[in-house]
Amino acid sequence: MPDARKPLISGNWKMHLNHFEAIQAVQKLSYLLPKKVFGTVDVSVHPPFTDIRSVQTTIETDRMEILLGAQHCHHELNGAFTGEVSPAFLAKLNVRLVIAGHSERREVFGETDDDVNKKVLAIVAQGMTPILCVGETLDEREAGSLEAKVSGQVTAGLAGLSPERVGDSVIAYEPIWAIGTGRTATPEDAQAACALVRTTVASAHGEDAAQRVRIQYGGSVKPGNIGDLMAQIDIDGALVGGASLDPDEFQRIVQWGVS
């Protein structure tokens, strides 16, 4: 399991990088990151499904300390689900973390809170760590619905997990209006939303789980804003999209606290 005491910086490569490019990206990232960094921060990369085996082999052959992640999975272990991927298949590839309920899965592919919860339970059952994504649209934010939307997604997404499992999980707050737009929530706004996430966890699963769960911020994270974001008390890491595709830029994000 990833170390729940460390910040977690995750690179979501989305539908970018074929397996040759993914190998090159993870090799360069590993080369750029000094080994001492991994004593203070966990780093994961989440390539497309077609790249996972290649990236796994590269990480394990070169004994990298980078964690292998996936972007999505189905909640069933097998069956007639053409185009989907079983969480059991990912576990066999030594995938450590799986994103569940990313805003693009919710907004573009219509995943519901119930769908996301089933995935979270399936990910945990296979011994992997879920990164549960929550967040509001611009319309919801302007209508004053942020608290109801985010707390509702957190509560629904973690339903059925024990407090211990909740504490081992990761929750990524990603304001939908800030993803890929160049807009970023202010550090204060991000802190307020992440504090809401932690309070929601405490209400449903207890204070211990709330203090142990890692909360990431996601939404146009870059080297220029990572320091201010990570200075916030309830932000324990970042879910990075476009900036993670460039190993030079991503390593600067990972090493935000290194002088």
As a three-state string, the secondary structure of 43-111 is EEEECCHHHHHHHHHHHHHCCCCCEEEECCCCCCCCCCCCCCCCHHHHHHCCCCEEEECCHHHHHCCCC
Residue 144's Cβ-count burial label (10 Å; 0-12, 13-18, 19+) is exposed
Q: Provide the sign of the torsion angle of the four alpha carbons 47, 49, 55, 61, taken in this order.
A: positive
Task: Please indicate whether residue 174 is annotated as part of the active site.
Answer: yes
How far, CA to CA in Å, does 222 sit from each of 35, 45, 235, 244? 22, 16, 15, 9
Query: Residue 10: helix, strand or coil by DSSP?
Result: strand
| Residues in CB range of 208: below 8 A, 6 or more apart | 163, 167
Of 30, 98, 35, 36, the C-alpha closest to 58 is: 30
| Catalytic residue of the set 104, 111, 136, 174 | 174
Q: Which amino acid is residue 208, in one-letter code?
A: D
- In 10 A of CB 259, how many CB atoms? 3
| Catalytic residue of the set 72, 102, 136, 205 | 102
Task: Please indicate whether residue 102 is annotated as part of the active site.
Answer: yes
Q: What are the residue ranges of helices labelled H in the chain? A: 19-32, 52-61, 87-92, 103-107, 113-125, 138-142, 146-158, 163-167, 187-205, 207-212, 223-230, 247-254
Active site residues: 102, 174
